[in-house]
Structure 1
Amino acid sequence: MATESQYSGVWIVIPAFNEAAVIGEVVADVRSVFDHVVCVDDGSTDGTGEIARRAGAHLVRHPVNLGQGAAIQTGVEYARKQPGAQVFATFDADGQHRVKDVAAMIDRLGATDADIVIGTRFGTREGSRPPFFKRIVLQTAARLSRRGRRLGLTDTNNGLRVFNKKVADGLNITMSGMSHANEFISLIAENHWRVVEQPVEVLYTDYSKSKGQPLLNGVNIIFDGLLRRRTP
């Protein structure tokens, strides 16, 4: 259990869309370590927002679904206005991320001169790698990201990020869907924010694997990378 003084300036941002089955447990897990959690209910129709609020999260609602990028931007804008907020993290709502990885990334941020720490599924930790097809897609997307390569990043679509207030104040995500991850990388390069990677484990549960259309999402990630490859 963390002490209040250790993480009192940390805010965890959780974008969520129709995650009623797991959001209560996810928020409770995060709040077992971090006091300050903001959940952005991105137009859910299944009670996600109210469940997150009852679990102890600050709740911000989008009246319609605007996409994960917009939800992250809304959550960061809310968090950066809070008194004493100094460190921020983005954390997925479907139970794939581990709270202890966030804590390790926050420690890494404090121990280096980095402005942002991004999780990577391609570190040395056993069990951290995604399933075969997803691994191929993510590694291909990272290789297609010219700016990601210049920054030395191996997992440009990882949603687990920890960053300081300079990044939070300068963050201006305008893209939704899978494209927001590449926009995040572009903002790092354009603003000359110092970035490092931290090996993390992503938990591919039956629930998380059952959501969405993995094949279509994979094609979108690669297609977006091909379009952005032309960007210097």
Structure 2
Amino acid sequence: MPSEPFASSTWVVIPMYNEATMIRTVVEDVRRHFPNVVCVDDGSSDTSPEEALAAGAVVVRHPINLGQGASLQTGIEYALSDPAMSALVTFDADGQHQVADAVEMVERLHRDGLDIVIGSRFIDDRTNVGAAKRAVLKTAAAYSRFTSGMALTDAHNGLRVLGRDLAGRVKLRQNRMAHASELIDTVGSLGVKWAEHPTHIVYTEYSRSKGQSLLNSVNILVDLFFR
């Protein structure tokens, strides 16, 4: 049984699209610490739903592919249906996030009375980010600082922890990658208590193939400026 404080009142939301290769391992790792996991299957054509179910997750399915933003919103709404939920974690399905970071972030949310803890790969030197990708992500962070007023170092880190009250106020309308900046803009407009937390992002050939390439980073900028 998970021994971390607040584990039983935390939900982990994992958007999922054709992740049969990794999702069982990811869910099993998460559930060693957080028993409540909801995977939102975004119209997968492989066995992702079956793999997630076998690992012990709840699976909510979109009949067609809507995008990561839409999947996160669906997962948030599912987590809110649990009256005991006090916090939720957004977590990627490709194995790049570390559960230990999520545990620390949940504990920090409660300990410091925060509304949201946002992961950053740029606070420490654990994450190896190429120069071109770093430049794109730094540009996205600068854009978010301008639009939200929040001095973030990493606006497009998918590992975040939201308290229940803030989660109930989030209504993502950007279905694809621009949802990350939309979320930050929402947080900035609400004036809630926030902090960044260092996270270790592990880039693998698999995660790059699932959207962590430089081209995808450029797509983030396109989404930002034309959303």
> Shorter-chain-normalised TM-score: which range?
over 0.9
Match of 1:18 in 2: 18
Match of 1:156 in 2: 155
Match of 2:53 in 1: 53
Match of 1:198 in 2: 197
Match of 1:42 in 2: 42
TM-score w.r.t. the length of structure 1 is 0.92
1:9 aligns with 2:23: no
Match of 1:88 in 2: 88
The separation in 2 between residues aligned to 1:169 and 1:149, in whole angstroms, is: 19
CA contact (8 A) 1:147 1:186 kept: no
1:172-216 Cα shifts (integer Å, max 9, x gaps)? 001111110010011101222221100100010121122347343
Change in 2 beyond 3 A, CA 1:29/1:148: farther
The separation in 2 between residues aligned to 1:7 and 1:25, in whole angstroms, is: 19
Amino acid corresponding to residue 196 of structure 2 in structure 1: E
CA shift for structure 1 position 147: 4.3
CA contact (8 A) 2:94 2:210 kept: no
**Shift >6 Å, 4+ stretches:** none
CA shift for structure 1 position 148: 6.2
Amino acid corresponding to residue 34 of structure 2 in structure 1: F
Match of 1:29 in 2: 29
1:76-122 Cα shifts (integer Å, max 9, x gaps)? 10011113111101000000000000000011111213200000010
CA contact (8 A) 1:148 1:156 kept: no
| Seq. identity, % | 48
CA contact (8 A) 2:141 2:155 kept: yes
CA contact (8 A) 2:4 2:33 kept: no
CA contact (8 A) 1:139 1:154 kept: yes
Stretches of structure 2 lacking an aligned partner (at least 5 in a row): none
CA contact (8 A) 1:157 1:182 kept: yes
Change in 2 beyond 3 A, CA 1:85/1:61: same
TM-score w.r.t. the length of structure 2 is 0.94
CA contact (8 A) 2:115 2:165 kept: yes
SS across alignment from 1:97: coil
The separation in 2 between residues aligned to 1:216 and 1:4, in whole angstroms, is: 38
The separation in 1 between residues aligned to 2:213 and 2:150, in whole angstroms, is: 27
CA shift for structure 1 position 29: 0.4
SS across alignment from 1:211: helix
Quote the RMSD (CA, aligned, Å): 1.8
CA contact (8 A) 2:148 2:184 kept: no
Change in 2 beyond 3 A, CA 1:152/1:40: same
